[in-house]
Structure 1
């Protein structure tokens, strides 16, 4: 940054601050973090990059004086990930400690931080609305976050060393907060590419013997364990939960109230067990869920690359009565087992399900609310059933990469609501659906928008 920038003491907007690679004082043209010292009228957002180039962490961060910039609402602290192993982690920890932001900060994004521990000042940001951490590969745990009553969104991505989000035992954290104040504002939680993440707390309320029992997927074991999880904190306002590529995760706070979206990719069903077990004891569950079964208000569900080979337990699926969108990718699930309960379903996407015979029974025809159906990379699919014509609400149909699908049924004529049909990488079907000349053309000629390799 230009030397002398710090003399502009009335400056209110400085969205980007670039740390110089040149040592302080070596150039008359470049200024260091000390240029921020007296710029206490800065407001809005500031993005500080190249923090790996700071030479004297304690001296320079003290000079930066971020804590006194009370008008700042949005702060990004970024280290260059290319220099991940160059510096001692203790230097980065001192650097982060010294970059303590003002207490009324609302948005914090930390990128590629290389310390093992995160600064305790995080727990003091009581006005923080959103916390995002990306690529902090060595960070092993975070300070207590339950103390942040305004926090609405948490996103933790590429945290390779993170084993537990809280370093406290669950008993300590529950007693320090309470079931009524645990993350009272949190609406969205994303945990992505945290391969060593095991749970929220270092020690859960079940012992090792009980934890072994909890790995079972039988109804009786969930019921047996239910009372031991009654004191487990729950997210009272969580509406969107995304867990991607966290293969070791088995324990989470309860999340019965999800309304918008549950996105599970590359995880185990075990992360769901405690929440779904709540309904096993009606009297106890009602105190937490107000008699609303877990996930009964959920609208969108994504199940991709699930690590368990067994299908979803039947009693879980009975709750999904509000589900409007379901996406299944590379999962060994019984479609009929799921669909019999999805009375509100509007969109269904099936992808890379090689072992699934999608239409082995007629349960799908009962989902008369279905408006969009997408079938992608399902080589076992050889035919569509005649009863597909019963899907009278269907507006969009996509069939892609199903090489063994050879023809369309007569029932296609009855899909009078169908507005868009796309057939791609289905060689036999594409030939039969060529405009005017294909053998199946008359079955789909009424569709306003149709595309394939031959006709776009």
Structure 2
């Protein structure tokens, strides 16, 4: 099939989104970018996928009040979109004026973090809207909250009487109004990913509803009791509703259902409710099968006839008490045989002694993924080797299995010449009784058959008794992960998986080192080696043969191996010569680094963290001095030898006695994270950058932490011309920053924290130096009680984020009695956070803040102010664009600007008893002003949780 050209893709895009292809664009609507072609391609692919999904929904189309007869294929998209003034409307009028809103039928808009009332002002003039659709349709970023004004939910939506499609997915809404039941024409309702706990009963009166999506509503506890009345419902998606413990009765009446992602048995809901749902397709999870007491119910479910089901999950209770009936559960699972069109199957906590005979039948030719979890009483595994399409097999928690052999492969099946011919991923977890794994697989003609010919990834975890392995070599395995097992298993599996490129091992009992047999089997194909929590490990290997064998190993990571003393067994031995990444973390007894570490010319990342006994020296230390430190255990550390190094982390080393920047810095270095020993003294500026050394042209980030004796940051810091991030923390001796040269002009982020003796960022006689930092965007000052703040107007001109927390010093001279000049913040500032300290000086600074006329402040957060009662006048008169306001732990704070409140998108208050009372729901005098703010969260003094108003 020919690939679509760029022109055809653009044409498709114009057809699918007429709103984005109008010839009436203005510069205010669309800004073209150089990468528009790739964006069109990406959008086109996504829209085609949405169009495919839409066709699968089979939504009925009706034209209410339209005398023109239309076939579905003849419908034309609206010709004009009023995207300029009325963003998101698709109108059926060519002239984009206000009156055309009355004719608008469909609306879409981009979902933002806060969607307030102003965004929907025009919607009230479009009473004939049929579509209310935020984009993207399915919001997958579950970690991010989106907030919608109550005005939409309680005022706007009930007025849209002809609405067909309504989506509120991804918004942080906890309930829908009962008036939702008045939207009689509604076909599609999507509240996926919201915080809704239960739907109003009136939803069961939406008799035209065809699609109800509740996916990932993790707080949903129940559905309306009359949900069964929705006889036209085709799609009910309740996947991810972990708190949903019961289902409404009458599901068997919903014979149009095509999607039912799960059914929870109990409280009158039996598995036989599935009997009439012959149109089900996609995925189905049946939860609570342990309550089935009559096998006839399982027979009536008639899963075999549900030909369009592709995924099935059968779930019993995880509690194996005396009430469980092994024989009954075996009969039930026998009768729950699905259609042979199944692609994915999961069986969880099944209590029978053996799996059903249909599981593994070759007739399941489409089955690709099988999960068997927690079926602890089963004594053998099903014969799955016959399944021709099986790609992924996960087996876990089957405690009764002691031996795995020919029964798994399906010996004697005439249809199959190889066992598991398509399997790519195999995982065994928590098989605590498993002792042996063997194969003696013969074809029907008596010849030895192949086993796992395409296996790429093998994981064995929590199998402490597995020691007897008799398998043929499996050269197709590329990833091998073994954990909580014995060393003998590791040795056996490495010899079997002889072409492994990634080896990850964790908690291997009896592993002292990777002996020559292991490294020889791994050989030149190994690229990644990860070792974790192997406490008996003394060294990685012994002898030079390992390096010769592991010649292509690129990444080595060793962590939490408390017995590790040396990376290599003997003096003079090496690490793999082509190593690019070396990470050592929390090996508390590690004493030695290889002498030839500096010979690793390809090393790009070096990280040594929380290894307190390793002594790291610079080459400037005399040789005889080195030999006197810690009985000769100190090792040469020549950072300048790593000509390709890009990232260096040295952290948590009380024995670090020299600063690595005292050597020639590799010109490739980009990131440095450094925490030295407490007694390390910075002797001179050359410790940072020797006069003979050229500045590192690529260094972008420096993090220095817990250097008590550091007193200054020298001017050579200015030579790092691409430095964008500087993070200085817990350097109690630091008194000043570069006095002559100042900070690099490329600096974008500056963090200074817990530097208790820091006196100034810039010298008093060069107060405009900060204004030269045109690239600085983020500035954070945390707990610097000796710091005297900036003079008036001396702020970086393009600063967007400013955070001041803890104590700072009251200036020795200043305006009037407060000791502060007015602090006029830059117009570019978008986020401001001020957190008070014990001395109260920050409160005085806060009261002197001012904003310029053309400011862009969007977020203000203040907290821990004992005496502050309101927002200072200098800020208040310029807060017309503020979106988010947070006030925490300000016990005397009592008032907010009334004119500001309705324009906010987010208001959060806690630890302010007077203000909390004034903002209380339905009762406080501020409530009418804040009721429609998308995000209102007021701390409840009687609860440990933050509650939404």
Could you say which TM-score interval applies, normalised by the shorter chain? 0.7 to 0.9
Q: Which residue of 1 aligns with 2:328?
A: 91
- Name which of structure 1's ranges 31-40 and 423-432 shifts more when overlaid on structure 2: 423-432
Q: Which residue of 2 aligns with 1:26?
A: none
CA distance in 2, matches of 1:448, 1:117: 62
1:344-381 per-residue CA deviation (whole Å, 9 max, x = no partner) reads: 33432211223332344345445444433444554543
Select the residue among 2, 17, 39 that pairs with 2:263. 17
CA distance in 2, matches of 1:391, 1:63: 70
Say if 2:309 and 2:342, in contact at 8 Å, map to a contact too: yes
CA distance in 1, matches of 2:473, 2:463: 17
Q: Which residue of 1 aligns with 2:289?
A: 51
The verdict on how the C-alpha distance between 1:54 and 1:340 changes in structure 2, with shifts beyond 3 A counting, is same
3-state DSSP of counterpart to 1:11: coil
| RMSD of aligned Cα (Å) | 3.7
3-state DSSP of counterpart to 1:59: helix
The verdict on how the C-alpha distance between 1:159 and 1:395 changes in structure 2, with shifts beyond 3 A counting, is farther
Select the residue among 447, 450, 453 that pairs with 1:236. 453
The structure richer in helix per residue is 1
The verdict on how the C-alpha distance between 1:336 and 1:164 changes in structure 2, with shifts beyond 3 A counting, is closer
1:13-53 per-residue CA deviation (whole Å, 9 max, x = no partner) reads: 11111101x3xxxxxxx442111113222110001111122
Select the residue among 374, 378, 388 that pairs with 1:149. 388
CA distance in 2, matches of 1:93, 1:113: 8
Say if 1:105 and 1:127, in contact at 8 Å, map to a contact too: yes
CA distance in 2, matches of 1:305, 1:141: 27
3-state DSSP of counterpart to 1:160: coil
Select the residue among 181, 185, 193 that pairs with 2:430. 193
Q: Which residue of 2 aligns with 1:314?
A: 516
3-state DSSP of counterpart to 1:122: coil
- How many correspondences in the alignment? 401
CA distance in 1, matches of 2:466, 2:302: 39
1:122, distance to aligned residue in structure 2 (A):
0.6
1:105, distance to aligned residue in structure 2 (A):
0.9
Alignment of 1:84-233 (within 5 A): 84-124=321-361, 125-166=364-405, 168=407, 181-201=418-438
Select the residue among 297, 310, 332 that pairs with 1:60. 297
Question: What runs of 5+ residues in structure 1 fail to find an aligned partner?
Answer: 23-29, 206-229, 279-293
CA distance in 2, matches of 1:416, 1:235: 48
Report which structure shows greater RCO (CA 8 Å, sep ≥6): 1
- Name which of structure 1's ranges 331-340 and 110-119 shifts more when overlaid on structure 2: 331-340
CA distance in 1, matches of 2:473, 2:271: 42
CA distance in 1, matches of 2:709, 2:322: 58
1:245-272 per-residue CA deviation (whole Å, 9 max, x = no partner) reads: 1111222634533454211111224334
- Name which of structure 1's ranges 160-169 and 324-333 shifts more when overlaid on structure 2: 160-169
Say if 1:419 and 1:448, in contact at 8 Å, map to a contact too: no
Select the residue among 539, 543, 557 that pairs with 1:334. 539
CA distance in 1, matches of 2:674, 2:661: 17
CA distance in 1, matches of 2:311, 2:317: 20
Select the residue among 462, 466, 490 that pairs with 1:249. 466
The verdict on how the C-alpha distance between 1:425 and 1:139 changes in structure 2, with shifts beyond 3 A counting, is farther
Say if 2:320 and 2:351, in contact at 8 Å, map to a contact too: no
1:104, distance to aligned residue in structure 2 (A):
2.0
Larger radius of gyration: 2
1:38-77 per-residue CA deviation (whole Å, 9 max, x = no partner) reads: 3222110001111122222x11110111111111110111
CA distance in 2, matches of 1:424, 1:396: 14
1:186-241 per-residue CA deviation (whole Å, 9 max, x = no partner) reads: 1111111221122334xx66xxxxxxxxxxxxxxxxxxxxxxxx969542111111
Select the residue among 670, 686, 694 that pairs with 1:419. 670
Say if 1:195 and 1:248, in contact at 8 Å, map to a contact too: yes
1:114, distance to aligned residue in structure 2 (A):
1.9
Q: Which residue of 1 aligns with 2:443?
A: none
1:91, distance to aligned residue in structure 2 (A):
2.2
Alignment of 1:356-367 (within 5 A): 356-358=565-567, 359-362=592-595, 364-367=597-600
TM-score (norm 2): 0.38
Question: What runs of 5+ residues in structure 2 fail to find an aligned partner?
Answer: 1-246, 441-446, 568-591, 617-634, 681-704, 732-750, 752-949
1:164, distance to aligned residue in structure 2 (A):
2.8
Q: Which residue of 1 aligns with 2:561?
A: 353
1:431 aligns with 2:648: no
Select the residue among 637, 641, 644 that pairs with 1:386. 637
The verdict on how the C-alpha distance between 1:74 and 1:336 changes in structure 2, with shifts beyond 3 A counting, is same
3-state DSSP of counterpart to 1:37: helix
1:400, distance to aligned residue in structure 2 (A):
5.3
CA distance in 2, matches of 1:411, 1:165: 59
The verdict on how the C-alpha distance between 1:415 and 1:313 changes in structure 2, with shifts beyond 3 A counting, is same
TM-score (norm 1): 0.75
1:78-108 per-residue CA deviation (whole Å, 9 max, x = no partner) reads: 1221455431222222222221111121101
